A and B are shown apart, each in its own frame.
Chain A
Amino acid sequence: MKPTIIRARDNPFSAGRLLKVRYQWLPGSWDELLVRLTALRHRAAIVGPQGHGKTTLLEDLSARLEKNGFQVYWLRFNRQNRSLSGSMWQNVFNELHGKTVICVDGAEQLSFWQWRRLKQRSKQAAGLLITAHQAGMLPSLVQCKTTPELLANIVAQLVNEPSDQLRTISNKLFEKHDGNVRDALRELYDLFADGTMRLSKTVGKTGKQEMAMPLHSGEMRSTEFPLN
């Protein structure tokens, strides 16, 4: 059977839809986090492996800080962007005042000297929050963790209906990617994009779409998944 291809805009795992999935506590709560953050004087690290929700948590936290009257200044680093230029340093410190919290995503990408300089100069600000793969750069605010249930809940939210078959796929992807939820969701995008997991139209008033998922090589079985 020829796989049916889905438009990027209709893929339930498109980046735009993933952005609407915010940080989910497992356990923990925002109240607990904010109390701990205050105790750490707003200088702390969100720690965890890749794809475990650090950036999502920092973004959600920054929104809460802004609601509480802080001004948030963002710096984002990755393997392609690992340092602050001279003009960027100037921009950063021109923006600092007593109500500014600097949020640094990917702080471990900075060199020893750049990190040391940022940490020192940020003492002029109200706070410094970072994400890092390892603990030690600043006191740990939270260690981000993932579970198969978390991934399954996110998948069910995106596809709009829980299913035993989808949970099986989700659990396998969680194991395959060592708990990296981002990579598991990206693989689900690919599975839909290339037709390995597909939507086919069913006749009916509900407008539900029927999805066929491979259980074994060459075997297809149908399950209904309504689109969002």
Chain B
Amino acid sequence: MLKIELTDGRRQRKPGEKIEVMAQWQLDEHADSVEARLVWSTQGKGTTDVQVVQQEQFDNPSLSENRRITFTLPESPYSFSGKLISLIWALELIAEPTGESDRFELTMSPSGEEIELHSSEDDFLRG
């Protein structure tokens, strides 16, 4: 079991903020490493792009650990969604070589909310 989350649970964030992350794992077998990452990725009609912005790797981890990590959010890009593309920020925790993982999504923008690329908020259905 792997779990990654913000210690304060607050998903809406602003550029430049320091965020405190809790990474926890209970592994059934030895892992070569466990890595926590701050990433953004795109989703939509075109190819998915992924950018690892910051990471912290724990080599030869114990089977069960809790780790606190601090990441600093960059100034950009902001979280946004339109018809053709969404940009999504997330924390990821991955154990190698099994590839077992967990993911925690957040939004980053000057307001903390995802920017909507549509003319009218009334037209926009949130899934």
Which A residues contact B (CB, under 8 angstroms)?
A: 2-11, 14-16, 19, 186, 189-190, 193-194, 198-201, 209, 227
Contact = CB atoms under 8 A, between A and B. Distances in A.
A7 B48 contact: no
Given A193-B83, A193-B84, A194-B83, A8 B45 contact: yes
Contacts of B86: 7-9
A228 to B, nearest CB: 10
Contacts of B45: 8, 11, 14-15, 186, 189-190, 193
A209 to B, nearest CB: 8
Contacts of B47: 15
A190 B123 CA distance: 16
B81 A200 contact: no
Contacts of B123: 2-5
A8 B125 contact: no
A190 B43 CA distance: 14
Given A16-B48, A186-B45, A8 B127 contact: no
B3 to A, nearest CB: 22
A19 B85 contact: no
Contacts of A9: 43-44, 81, 86, 88, 127
Contacts of B124: 4-5, 7
Contacts of A3: 123
B43 A14 contact: yes
B16 interface: no
A4 B48 CA distance: 24
Nearest to A200: B125
Given A5-B83, A193-B83, A11 B44 contact: yes
Nearest to B45: A189
Contact of B43 (A5, A15, A227): A15
B10 interface: no
A198 B45 CA distance: 16
Contacts of A7: 81-83, 86, 116, 124-127
B18 interface: no
8 contacts: A4-B124, A4-B125, A6-B83, A7-B82, A7-B126, A9-B86, A14-B45, A209-B127
Contacts of A8: 43-45, 81-86
A80 to B, nearest CB: 13
B67 interface: no
Shortest beta-carbon contacts, A-B, top 3: A10-B127, A8-B44, A9-B86
B118 interface: yes
B46 interface: yes
B88 to A, nearest CB: 6
Given A15-B43, A15-B46, A6 B84 contact: no
Count chain B CB atoms within 10 A of each CB in A9, A11, A14 and give the residue with the most.
A9
Contacts of A14: 43-45
Contacts of A193: 45, 83-84
